[in-house]
Amino acid sequence: DADVTQTPRNRITKTGKRIMLECSQTKGHDRMYWYRQDPGLGLRLIYYSFDVKDINKGEISDGYSVSRQAQAKFSLSLESAIPNQTALYFCATSDSGTGVTEAFFGQGTRLTVV
C-alpha cells in the first residue's frame, strides 16, 4: 500500500459543484501539503499544515479550502469548481522531527471541471 494515498485518482465534475479531494498518510509525518500541477507551471502550493491545529495558505489558495481532520488526514475542497481548476493535484507529507528534507508525494488526483 502507498504511504500517501489520494482519493479519488480521477474525477470529472461540473462547473459550480463542490468537490473534496482526500489524502491520508501512514508515514506518521506531521506536515502535509496540497499542490496543483499545470503544464509549464510546475508544482504550486495551495495550502499546507504543520500540525492538526496549524493551517496556512500557499501561493494559490483562492477558491480552495482545507481541513486537517487528524494528523494522518488532510482534505482539499473546491467550494464551487471552475474550469481553470482543472489540473493534477498532489498531496505531500514531510517530517519536521528528523530534519529530513524530503517531501513524499501521493499518486495524484486528475481533476477535470467541465
Partner 1 sequence: QKEVEQDPGPLSVPEGAIVSLNCTYSNSAFQYFMWYRQYSRKGPELLMYTYSSGNKEDGRFTAQVDKSSKYISLFIRDSQPSDSATYLCAMLLYNFNKFYFGSGTKLNVKP
DSSP 11-43: EEE-TT--EEEEEEESS--SEEEEEEEETTTEE
71-90 positions binding partner 1, by CB under 8 A: 90
All three cell numbers of 46: 495551495
Hunting for cell 500540525 — which residue is that?
Answer: 51
Window contacting partner 1 (CB under 8 A); options: 15-23, 60-68, 70-78, 103-111: 103-111
Parallel, antiparallel, or unpaired: how do β-strands 109-113 and 10-13 relate?
A: parallel
11-50 positions binding partner 1, by CB under 8 A: 31, 33, 35, 40-43, 45, 48, 50
Binding site residues, partner 1, CB under 8 A: 4, 31, 33, 35, 40-43, 45, 48, 50, 90, 92, 94, 96, 99, 101-103, 105-108
